[in-house]
């Protein structure tokens, strides 16, 4: 996993609430068995008109935001399906941070495992950032995971909460399975005892 | 463990704690992982790349459901090569890693959340995971069951554990007797409509109260299934006599002395008197009505007697814009009575409403009627076991005679990954769980309803208030001398 410390980038405003993972990566792309190559399918239907042409009114197609690595969105971002393909698509497209008032639980976990930092700010702060990103050409934000702050160099400064362990993993780019296997002795002992519980056996 | 009164969730959680490292999430033991073709290939690939094995193949089961065609012809020759490749990848992965697979040709194949309980894998007090957000279904048995992403699928395959932050607890008590025509589906749609699609984010919901206790296991599964649509990590219902009656004698249920021991343990799981929840909500079941979703989020629901709401009633500017966008996408005008909305397609099935009781309920409405000539309707049983039982009861004949198609099991039009797709602009009455933009095909317009409401809409060609439906009595089968 790629390490994350501080990121300064253009901010792309996605002024919608309850953006679901079906929109982030539509189902037809879930049939692939690869883990890479999802970036081109990010927001596939929203990027296109009914006739399949690129929709110039959708923010991902707006040349002003080309290369943005920070996405700013409304509350309950990435709700719905558990598909990690949503995190893969965002990361593969180039996003390393998403700022929103709230995130769905499963996506929260998926994003962390793909080096995407999720920044939870208040509705008012997000509204301000959405407005700034829409009205200020070349609007950039800096997300510092170490300091847990978002700044725009123009007077905006907000701090955000992050679970210390998640922060540690993101900064170090750590693989979860290896971390868990530090507890293998405890796991072996637990499992030997737990396997005696006939009421919790998968098979009888 | 202390003697403090505990919730159902806390009891299950505590019995699965492997380690509680300082400043880190709890390491939780997982009793059962369910796998399917869509969210597992990259997990198995990850194991291969790292040279890891599956720690407990006996605590895994796999099936194919999301991609499989629902016609016999389609199944014998899957023309979608990408889907076929994904299905064969699961076959190979299960063979390579020693995992039992309920494949396309298995007599027990079906939607993963239907076959788990049906085969007796799902049990009270278990921790159950799957790379699928509707895993909460299994919480109906008093299991802690939740969905996860593919990295976590790999993590559980490798370690049989998951690092988890402890969720908050939220009890929703549904009290009183449900009015006639109001179903488990309406309970959960009403809850989501009331608390919103992020109303339970970070929480495990326990559904309680007399209306929940009165539900069958099928109904309880419908309620728990859509917990994710309220943002919840999981939904749970305490196991009771209804649960034990369902489990007894199933393929993988404990037998003999083990059964008695299991029932004794499972009976201890119910929330203790006086246990504290982080949040509580009480809903009056007697006030509920049949619900229909009108927008592009499962929180956008209204009773069948209502009209399409005016976006101006949205509480914030961003919500008003969301309503406007939803109505535009759905091709609906504010003020239109829901019963006046004409439909093109009907889908009865899915992990939400694809069980035998759902089939019976829909057949009871369809009996003796004909599907509207304007409507194309299909019934997709959730598993081969559901299909076989329905056929034994003659439900397939009722559906076919009424003009419904009777299909092979799978997820089908719930997410339209297989050939069962709506055309742009087509409007469906669907017993599934999500009405997101494009969920049933690009430009598709989905209205979520109960099986009874879907069957009635198929016949009328538009939504109807099921409470006014005239049920034609089942004809007595002719006995030939």
pLDDT, tens digit (0-9, with 9 covering 90-100), for B397-426: 999 999 999 999 999 999 999 999 999 999
Query: What digits encode the pLDDT tens for the residues A169-184?
Result: 999 988 789 899 999 9
Q: Which residue has the higher pLDDT, B473 or B334?
A: B334
Q: Does B163 touch chain A (CB under 8 A)?
A: yes
The answer to whether A106 contacts B59, with C-beta atoms less than 8 Å apart, is no
Model pLDDT, residue B368: 97
Q: Using CB atoms, which residue from A83, A183, A199 is nearest to B39?
A: A83
Distances (CA, A) of A193 to A186, A190, A196, B95, B102: 11, 5, 6, 29, 29
Query: What digits encode the pLDDT tens for the residues B38-95?
Result: 999 999 999 999 999 999 999 999 999 999 999 999 999 999 999 999 999 999 999 9
Query: What digits encode the pLDDT tens for the residues B279-324?
Result: 999 999 999 999 999 999 999 999 999 999 999 998 888 889 999 9
Q: Is the pLDDT of residue B474 over 70?
A: no
Using an 8 Å Cβ cutoff, are B204 and B168 in contact? yes
Query: What digits encode the pLDDT tens for the residues B365-383?
Result: 999 999 999 999 999 999 9
H helix runs in B106-183, sequence order: 112-118, 150-159
Distances (CA, A) of B114 to B222, B227, B385: 11, 16, 9
Nearest CA in chain A to B418: A28
Both tokens assigned to B120: 């007796």
Residue A40: Cβ within 10 Å count: 11
Contacts of B39 in chain A (CB under 8 A): 30, 82-84
Residue A37: Cβ within 10 Å count: 12
Q: Is the pLDDT of residue B149 over 80?
A: yes
Q: What percent of chain B has pLDDT over 70?
A: 98
- Burial status of residue A186 (CB atoms within 10 A of its CB: 0-12, 13-18, 19 or more): middle
Using an 8 Å Cβ cutoff, are A156 and A126 in contact? no
Contacts of A198 in chain B (CB under 8 A): 254, 258, 261-262
CA nearest neighbour of B206 among B224, B185, B189 = B224
Torsion of CA B23, B24, B29, B34, to 10 degrees: 150
Q: How far apart are CA A148 and CA B478, in angstroms?
A: 75
Q: Is the pLDDT of residue B478 over 70?
A: no
State the average pLDDT for chain A. Answer: 96
The answer to whether A75 contacts B39, with C-beta atoms less than 8 Å apart, is no
The packing angle between helices B356-366 and B217-225, to 10°, is 100
Contacts of B257 in chain A (CB under 8 A): none
Average pLDDT over residues A34-52: 94
Model confidence at B385, pLDDT cuts 50, 70, 90, reads very high
Contacting A residues, span 86-125, partner chain B, CB-CB under 8 Å: 87, 102, 104-106, 109-110, 113-114
Contacts of B436 in chain A (CB under 8 A): 20, 22-23, 80
Question: Per this entry, what is the length of chain B?
Answer: 481
Model pLDDT, residue B480: 45
The answer to whether B155 contacts A83, with C-beta atoms less than 8 Å apart, is no
Phi-psi region of B352 (alpha: psi -120 to 50; beta: other; left: phi over 0): alpha
Average pLDDT over residues A50-65: 95
Using alpha carbons only, what angle is made at residue B98 by residues B96 and B102, rounded to the nearest 5 degrees? 100
Using an 8 Å Cβ cutoff, are B458 and B378 in contact? no
B236: enclosing H helix or E strand: strand B234-236
H helix runs in B172-316, sequence order: 184-195, 210-213, 217-225, 241-247, 256-266
Residue B50: Cβ within 10 Å count: 12
- Collapse the DSSP code of B116 into the 3-class scheme (helix H, G, I; strand E, B; otherwise coil) and give the result: helix
Q: Using CB atoms, which residue from B59, B231, B255 is nearest to A204?
A: B255
Average pLDDT over residues A137-142: 98
Report the gap between the CA of A131 and the closest CA in chain B (Å): 13
Model confidence at B2, pLDDT cuts 50, 70, 90, reads low
- Collapse the DSSP code of B125 into the 3-class scheme (helix H, G, I; strand E, B; otherwise coil) and give the result: coil
The tally of CA atoms less than 13 A away on the side-chain side of residue B193 is 21
Q: Using CB atoms, which residue from A80, A199, A204 is nearest to B265?
A: A199
Q: Does A173 touch chain B (CB under 8 A)?
A: no
Both tokens assigned to A171: 């900064």
Nearest CA in chain B to A177: B155
β partners of residue B127 = B144
Model pLDDT, residue B3: 80
Q: Does A62 touch chain B (CB under 8 A)?
A: no
Model pLDDT, residue B477: 52
Distances (CA, A) of B347 to A46, B298, B344, B413, B441: 25, 17, 10, 7, 13
What are the strands, taking DSSP E only, across A84-123? 97-100, 117-120
The answer to whether B254 contacts A198, with C-beta atoms less than 8 Å apart, is yes
Model pLDDT, residue B475: 59
- Collapse the DSSP code of B303 into the 3-class scheme (helix H, G, I; strand E, B; otherwise coil) and give the result: strand
Average pLDDT over residues B387-405: 98
Report the gap between the CA of B206 and the closest CA in chain A (Å): 17
- Collapse the DSSP code of B251 into the 3-class scheme (helix H, G, I; strand E, B; otherwise coil) and give the result: coil
Contacts of B165 in chain A (CB under 8 A): 163
Interface test with chain A among B16, B151, B232, by most A beta carbons within 10 Å: B151
Contacts of A183 in chain B (CB under 8 A): 18-19, 21, 27, 161
Model pLDDT, residue B481: 43
Contacting A residues, span 142-171, partner chain B, CB-CB under 8 Å: 163-165
Q: Does B314 touch chain A (CB under 8 A)?
A: no
A128: enclosing H helix or E strand: helix A123-135
């Amino acid at each position: 996993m790629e390490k994350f410390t501080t990121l300064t980038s253009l901010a792309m405003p996605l002024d919608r609430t309850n953006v679901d993972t079906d929109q982030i990566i539509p189902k037809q792309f879930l049939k692939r068995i690869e883990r890479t190559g999802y970036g081109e399918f990010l927001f596939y239907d929203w990027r296109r008109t009914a006739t399949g042409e690129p929709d110039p009114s959708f923010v991902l197609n707006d040349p002003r935001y080309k290369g943005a690595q920070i996405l700013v969105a409304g509350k309950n971002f990435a709700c719905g399906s558990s598909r990690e393909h949503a995190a893969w698509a965002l990361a593969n497209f180039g996003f390393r941070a998403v700022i929103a008032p709230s995130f769905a639980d499963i996506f929260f976990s998926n994003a962390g495992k793909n080096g995407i930092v999720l920044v939870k700010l208040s509705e008012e702060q997000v509204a301000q950032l959405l407005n700034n990103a829409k009205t200020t050409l070349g609007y950039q934000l800096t997300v510092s995971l170490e300091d847990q702050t978002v700044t725009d160099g123009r007077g905006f400064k907000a701090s955000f909460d992050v679970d210390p362990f998640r922060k540690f993993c993101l900064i170090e780019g750590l693989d979860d399975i290896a971390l868990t296997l530090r507890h293998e002795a405890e796991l072996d002992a637990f499992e030997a005892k737990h396997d005696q519980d006939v009421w919790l056996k998968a098979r009888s | 463990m202390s003697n403090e009164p505990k919730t159902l969730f806390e009891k299950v959680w505590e019995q699965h704690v492997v380690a509680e490292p300082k400043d880190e999430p709890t390491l939780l033991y997982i009793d059962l992982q369910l796998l399917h073709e869509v969210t597992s290939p990259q997990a198995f690939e990850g194991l291969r790349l790292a040279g890891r094995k599956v720690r407990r193949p006996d605590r895994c089961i796999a099936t194919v459901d999301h991609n499989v065609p629902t016609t016999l012809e389609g199944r014998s020759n899957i023309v979608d090569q990408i889907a076929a490749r994904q299905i064969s990848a699961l076959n190979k992965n299960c063979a390579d890693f020693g995992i039992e697979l309920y494949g396309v040709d298995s007599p027990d194949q079906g939607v993963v959340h239907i076959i788990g309980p049906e085969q007796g894998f799902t049990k009270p007090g278990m921790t159950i995971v799957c790379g699928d957000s509707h895993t909460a279904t299994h919480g109906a048995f008093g299991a802690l069951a939740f969905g996860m992403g593919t990295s976590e699928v790999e993590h559980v395959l490798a370690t049989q554990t998951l690092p988890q932050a402890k969720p908050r607890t939220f009890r929703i008590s549904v009290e009183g007797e449900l009015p006639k025509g109001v179903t488990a589906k309406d309970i959960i749609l009403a809850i989501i409509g009331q608390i919103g699609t992020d109303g339970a984010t970070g929480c495990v919901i326990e559904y309680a109260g007399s209306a929940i206790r009165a539900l069958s296991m099928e109904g309880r599964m419908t309620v728990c299934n859509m917990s994710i649509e309220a943002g919840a990590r999981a939904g749970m219902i305490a196991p009771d006599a209804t649960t034990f009656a369902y489990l007894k004698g199933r393929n993988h249920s404990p037998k003999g002395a083990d059964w008695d021991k299991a029932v004794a343990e499972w009976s201890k799981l119910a929330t203790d008197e006086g246990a504290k929840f982080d949040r509580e909500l009480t809903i009056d079941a007697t006030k509920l009505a049949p619900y229909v979703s009108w927008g592009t989020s499962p929180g956008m629901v209204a009773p069948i007697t209502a009209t399409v709401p005016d976006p101006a009633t949205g509480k914030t500017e961003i919500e008003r814009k969301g309503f406007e966008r939803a109505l535009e996408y759905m091709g609906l005008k504010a003020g239109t009575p829901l019963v006046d909305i004409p439909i093109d397609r009907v889908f009865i099935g899915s992990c939400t409403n694809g069980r035998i009781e759902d089939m019976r309920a829909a057949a009871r409405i369809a009996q003796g009627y004909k599907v509207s000539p304007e409507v194309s309707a299909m019934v997709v049983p959730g598993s081969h076991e559901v299909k076989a039982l329905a056929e034994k009861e003659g439900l397939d004949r009722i559906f076919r005679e009424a003009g419904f198609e009777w299909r092979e099991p799978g997820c089908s039009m719930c997410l339209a990954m297989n050939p069962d797709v709506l055309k742009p602009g087509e409007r469906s009455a669907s017993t599934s769980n999500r009405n997101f933009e494009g969920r049933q095909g690009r430009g598709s317009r989905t209205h979520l309803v109960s099986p009874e409401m879907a069957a009635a809409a198929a016949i009328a060609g538009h939504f109807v208030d099921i409470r006014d439906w005239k049920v034609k009595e089942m004809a007595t089968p002719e006995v030939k001398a």
